[in-house]
């Protein structure tokens, strides 16, 4: 199943983030007001689109962290958290005020995060405002998305595009294993391969027990370290062929051997008290 997508709405105060948020989640959850700086916390809502659940996150008006600001620093921290969590960021600006230096600063900040960003120009309620869009290309984006949060113009095109961007990222992620450096942890049963594996990937990824032969399938996981991508594999313990009794163990060993065949690096794990044996 496709994972839940998170879209964060980010932009300077008063551009209409909360209005868009309410419109997308079809609830009046966020407070909308003509006063800038209304929203402070992160607000979460959900929408269904194209069979996927999308979490929409409304944020308070964002100013780049080094701006001298009337906005509470906590609001900015909330925004930053929302940005980190997001798969796609909808960066909102406002056609009525036109492009401001703060918009430019925010865009610079967002670019550094390397997240996909869609640049939406809000309050394009009619034909008249369409004429005022060109200045927003100064943000250095390929495309500007004119929307009207109040009237709903253009908002689902925006969500469609966000989904396309996420799918592209997902496909990229799926392809990683072929480019990744493949590392298999190999060794006799019970030497601690899974414990090491979990430690390396920083997660309880493999079941660990003191029963020899706990791992049956070859468990793999992607690990990013030092700008490199690794596909780490935990394998079933290997024993001499003559000692393999059960079909299950034979299957496990087969998979472990297959993993070894396709790895770039095989880490042979030994148990110190025992030293090298002739397995």
**Coil, helix or strand for 32?**
coil
CA distance 77 to 8: 14
Footprint (CB under 6 A) of ligand GTP, residues 230-269: none
Can you tell me which of 5, 24, 25, 60 binds ligand GTP, judged by CB under 6 A? 60
Kindly state the smallest distance separating residue 149's Cβ from Mg ion, in Å: 11
Please name the residue ranges forming H helices in 42-147. 73-85, 101-113, 127-130
DSSP string computed for 186-235? EESTTSSHHHHHHHHHTS--S---SSTT---SPEEEEEEETTEEEEEEE-
User: Considering the rule CB under 6 A, would residue 14 count as an interface residue with ligand GTP?
Assistant: yes
Q: Per CB under 6 A, does 32 bind ligand GTP?
A: yes
Assess 17 for contact with ligand GTP (CB under 6 A): yes
If the CB atoms of residues 93 and 235 are measured against ligand GTP, the closer one turns out to be: 93
Q: Which is nearer to ligand GTP, 38 or 133 (CB)?
A: 38
The neighbouring-strand residues paired with 182 are 231
Using CA atoms, how far apart are residues 17 and 58, in angstroms rounded to an integer?
Answer: 6
User: Residues 2, 27, 33, 258: which binds ligand GTP (CB under 6 A)?
Assistant: 33
Residue 61 binds ligand GTP, judged by CB under 6 A: yes
For residue 154, state whether it binds ligand GTP (rule: CB under 6 A): no
Residue 122 as a binder of ligand GTP (CB under 6 A): the answer is yes
- Binding residue for ligand GTP, selected from 13, 116, 189, 237, defined by CB under 6 A: 13
Burial 111-142 (b: 16+ CB within 10 A, else e): eeeebbbbbbbbbbbeeebeebeeebeebeee
Q: Which residues contact 98 (CB under 8 A, 6 or more apart)?
A: 132, 135
CB of 38 to Mg ion, least distance (A): 5
**Residue 146 CB, nearest distance to ligand GTP (Å)?**
10
Q: Which residues bind Mg ion (CB under 5 A)?
A: 17-18, 38-39
Q: What are the tokens at 5?
A: 């997508």
What residues are paired with 232 via a beta bridge? 183, 221
36 near ligand GTP (CB under 6 A): yes
Residue 141 binds which of ligand GTP, Mg ion, none (CB < 5-8 A, kind-dependent): none
Q: Residue 269's binding partner, choosing from ligand GTP, Mg ion, none, with beta-carbon cut-off 5 to 8 A by kind?
A: none
Identify the residue among 5, 8, 18, 25 touching ligand GTP (CB under 6 A).
18
Choice between 51 and 126, CB closer to ligand GTP: 126
| Interatomic CA distance for residues 214 and 261, integer angstroms | 22
Interface with ligand GTP, residue 78, by CB under 6 A = no
Structure tokens at 37: 């700086």
Q: Does 173 bind ligand GTP (CB under 6 A)?
A: no
The neighbouring-strand residues paired with 56 are 7, 45
39 binds ligand GTP (CB under 6 A): yes
Spatial distance between the Cα atoms of 82 and 10, rounded to a whole number of angstroms: 9
- Name the site residues for ligand GTP (rule: CB under 6 A): 13-19, 32-34, 36-39, 60-61, 122-123, 125, 148-150
């Amino acid at each position: 199943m496709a994972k839940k997508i998170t879209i964060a709405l980010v932009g300077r105060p008063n551009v209409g983030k909360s209005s868009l948020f309410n419109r997308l989640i079809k609830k009046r959850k966020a407070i909308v007001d003509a006063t800038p700086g209304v929203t402070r916390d992160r607000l979460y809502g959900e929408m269904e689109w194209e069979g996927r659940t999308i979490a929409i996150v409304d944020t308070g008006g964002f100013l780049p962290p080094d701006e001298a600001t009337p906005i509470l620093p906590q609001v900015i921290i909330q925004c930053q958290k929302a940005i980190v969590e997001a798969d796609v960021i909808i960066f909102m600006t406002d056609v009525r005020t036109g492009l401001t230096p703060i918009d430019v600063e925010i865009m610079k900040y967002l670019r550094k995060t390397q997240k996909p960003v869609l640049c939406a120009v809000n309050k394009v309620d009619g034909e008249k405002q369409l004429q005022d869009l060109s200045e927003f290309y100064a943000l250095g984006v390929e495309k500007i998305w004119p929307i009207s949060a109040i009237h709903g113009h253009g908002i689902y095109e925006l969500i469609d595009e966000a989904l396309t961007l996420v799918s592209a990222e997902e496909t990229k992620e799926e392809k990683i294993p072929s480019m990744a450096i493949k590392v298999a942890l190999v060794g006799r049963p019970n030497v601690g391969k899974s414990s090491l594996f979990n430690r390396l990937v920083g997660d309880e990824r493999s079941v660990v027990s003191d029963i020899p032969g706990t791992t049956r399938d070859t468990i793999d996981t992607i690990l990013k370290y030092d700008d490199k991508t690794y596909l780490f594999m935990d394998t079933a313990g290997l024993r001499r062929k003559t000692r393999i009794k059960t079909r299950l163990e034979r299957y496990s060993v087969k998979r472990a051997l297959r993993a070894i065949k396709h790895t770039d690096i095989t880490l042979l794990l030994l148990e110190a008290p025992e030293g090298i044996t002739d397995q």
